[in-house]
Structure 1
Amino acid sequence: MAPRVVVAGSANMDLVGLAPALPRPGETVLGDDFVMAPGGKGSNQAIAAARAGGATTFLGAIGSDAFGVTLGARLAAAGVDTGRVRTSYGASGVAVIMVDRAGENSILVSPGANRTFTGLTADEQSVIAGADVLLCQQEIPMETVHAALRAGRAGGTRTILNAAPARDLPAGLLDEVDLLVVNEIEARAITGTEVHDPAGMAALLALVPRVVLTLSGSGARFADRDGRDVHVPAFAVPVADTTAAGDAFTGALAVAWGEGRDLVDAVRWANAAGAVCVQRVGASTALPERAEIDRLYASGAS
């Protein structure tokens, strides 16, 4: 049976410009191409989880504009349950993304309707409590993130927080987190310590029982309070665009953990998802299907 994954998060329309190099402040750069595609960390991770084999429900808010119609349709077309997505009068969230030829990116997010996703209903809390895994990020109001995590903990649901983008966390929020997924910048924002320092990972594990530290092209590092601290190498692939790689990774990780995989193996499978994603340009359009993840994972080419 497919694991039940609930994603509570953001939905944005991504406006992606490709150029030889990212512009510096005050500079105009002539681009190579332009792509408009549904995105947002919540929506991306929901689609990633659905494509990776999870029975996925998305909780969030879209606008009443044309972007909102497209966002809802794309989620549904990917197999995500959108029956509880809220529609807010006004503009949907928008992300303006610039990508250079090396695959590096710069992103500006205007939250739009995502700001209105507040006050979880009893039905939304029930859906969270009935899931195998809850996955949250930080592009929606932090009180909603906290409420969702509390509902997950109360229902016995495994809770994952991808603490991106880096923000101040409400007191007690990390007490509701079973697995924290962060990059080095986000880890430093939480602890004030460089994670590569001896005290860095210990500082994170003092707050949550399990941590996955994503390391871009170097893979990921998993650590827990049982004393495991394992580097899981990345898969060597050509890179076209890193925009949604973290979302592909995190959505696949939620599915793998929901299936009952050991977390070190789950991280390796999630690395394969991220590696498939970076070979394509775009956000939701680049997220891999389960068969693609399995093929790279089975190849052992990490």
Structure 2
Amino acid sequence: MPGTVVGSLNEDVLVAVGRLPGGGETVIGRSATLAPGGKGANQAAAAGLLGPGVHMVGRVGEDPAGDRQLAALASSRVDVSGVHRTPGVPTGSATIPVEEGTGENLIVVVPGANAELTPDDVDVDPVHRADVLLLQLEVPMDTVYAAAAAAGGRVVLTPAPPQPLPEELLALVDVLVPNEHELVQLTGATAGARTPVELVALARSIFGPVVVVTLGARGALVVRRDGSPALLQPPPPVTAVDTTGAGDCFCGALAQALATDRDLPAAVRFAVTAAALSTTGPGARGALPDAEAVEALLPRVPAATPVV
């Protein structure tokens, strides 16, 4: 079984703004659009469009938003038989202002039914038999740990939203995929811009897994534990419209690539390409690519360079 995602399903409210607000500031939105979302479901949708056999395990409410989330995943070729309805609790939601021109965004999540996902929910065949299990932190931590412990294949964790990760969990993770800000928070470093060399040093300070750091328009860093040099993988040139969900697309693509036996650098190259393509349309899933689109763009992806 190629891949299973345990995680969140949300309904996104995308708000177009001329510029993102600062602290305490009000800006006027130009439009609002409903779209399927949730880090878990976004990763599952990305993986499903790139290859067959993807399963989703999670929770939604008994409400129209839940209906929409299940239908959207099914349309992305994801098996949703592991998504449970939760009486009396609404489907999770996220409000996302998106800055016109740059595609940069902010995200505020209300967990809803995602908070009700239990360890028993993840003690299931799609978790046990998956070649790659994708996890994030928009569901309870004890459920994330239970899923990682029950996994029969490789475990990929996106530590978002960031919070302290117990060593017991990290010991079960094969590939940790933070973005630059999450890496800084996980390591307790001070906020601020850092060079790739400095980011590699932070990644190597984390106990346990291989670390792949997503860097947005700069691509991704691959920091292995075998003594080999870290690699910086730039993305292909694209015109970004909306960066919402690009990191989730990266993770879904990375899981599919690993499940098809690409080595880690090749899998990251594939994932960087898919994520770049995902920014060329609106919303977290407005431009998710299929495998043919990614393969067509791969020849234009710059070579990875060692970080020394």
TM-score bin (small chain): over 0.9
Which residue in the other structure is 1:143 paired with?
A: 142
Residue 91, structure 1, aligned to residue 87, structure 2: no
Contact 1:180/1:208 (<8 A) preserved: no
Q: State how 1:119-268 maps to structure 2 within 5 Å.
A: 119-121=119-121, 124-152=123-151, 155=152, 157-193=153-189, 196-197=197-198, 199-204=201-206, 207-228=207-228, 229-268=230-269
Which residue in the other structure is 2:114 paired with?
A: 114
For 1:184, give the aligned amino acid.
Answer: E
Helix, strand or coil at the partner of 2:34: strand
For 1:93, give the aligned amino acid.
Answer: G
- What's the offset of the Cα at 1:200? 1.6
Helix, strand or coil at the partner of 1:36: strand
Which residue in the other structure is 1:53 paired with?
A: 51
Which residue in the other structure is 1:75 paired with?
A: 73
Output the CA distance in 2 between the equivalents of 1:288 and 1:252. Answer: 10
Output the CA distance in 1 between the equivalents of 2:116 and 2:252. Answer: 24
Residue 297, structure 1, aligned to residue 295, structure 2: no
Output the CA distance in 2 between the equivalents of 1:208 and 1:280. Answer: 36
Residue 24, structure 1, aligned to residue 22, structure 2: yes
Output the CA distance in 2 between the equivalents of 1:41 and 1:48. Answer: 11
Helix, strand or coil at the partner of 1:165: coil
For 1:215, give the aligned amino acid.
Answer: L
- Stretches of structure 1 lacking an aligned partner (at least 5 in a row): none
- What's the offset of the Cα at 1:30? 2.6
Provide Cα deviations, 1:154-209, integer angstroms capped at 9, x if missing partner.
Answer: x3x111001111012234110100111011221122222477437423212xx123
- What's the offset of the Cα at 1:21? 0.4
Length-normalised TM-score, structure 2: 0.91
Question: Against the structure 1 CA distance between its residues 14 and 271, is the aligned structure 2 distance closer, same or farther, given a 3 Å change threshold?
Answer: same
Figure out how many residues of one structure are paired with residues of the other and give that number.
Answer: 294
Helix, strand or coil at the partner of 2:106: strand
Question: Against the structure 1 CA distance between its residues 26 and 185, is the aligned structure 2 distance closer, same or farther, given a 3 Å change threshold?
Answer: closer
- What's the offset of the Cα at 1:6? 0.4
Aligned-pair Cα RMSD in Å: 1.7
- Stretches of structure 2 lacking an aligned partner (at least 5 in a row): 304-308
Question: Against the structure 1 CA distance between its residues 184 and 15, is the aligned structure 2 distance closer, same or farther, given a 3 Å change threshold?
Answer: same
Contact 1:7/1:57 (<8 A) preserved: yes
Output the CA distance in 2 between the equivalents of 1:201 and 1:117. Answer: 30
- The partner residue of 2:64 within 63, 66, 80 is 66
Contact 1:19/1:30 (<8 A) preserved: yes
For 2:130, give the aligned amino acid.
Answer: A
Contact 1:244/1:287 (<8 A) preserved: no
Contact 2:58/2:83 (<8 A) preserved: yes
Helix, strand or coil at the partner of 1:286: coil
Which residue in the other structure is 2:270 paired with?
A: 269
For 1:259, give the aligned amino acid.
Answer: T
Provide Cα deviations, 1:111-160, integer angstroms capped at 9, x if missing partner.
Answer: 000000012247x43321111100000100011000000001xx3x1110
- What's the offset of the Cα at 1:296? 1.4
Identical columns (%): 41
Question: Against the structure 1 CA distance between its residues 301 and 78, is the aligned structure 2 distance closer, same or farther, given a 3 Å change threshold?
Answer: same
Output the CA distance in 2 between the equivalents of 1:68 and 1:242. Answer: 24
Output the CA distance in 2 between the equivalents of 1:300 and 1:74. Answer: 30
- What's the offset of the Cα at 1:51? 0.6
- What's the offset of the Cα at 1:42? 0.2
Output the CA distance in 1 between the equivalents of 2:208 and 2:255. Answer: 17
Length-normalised TM-score, structure 1: 0.92
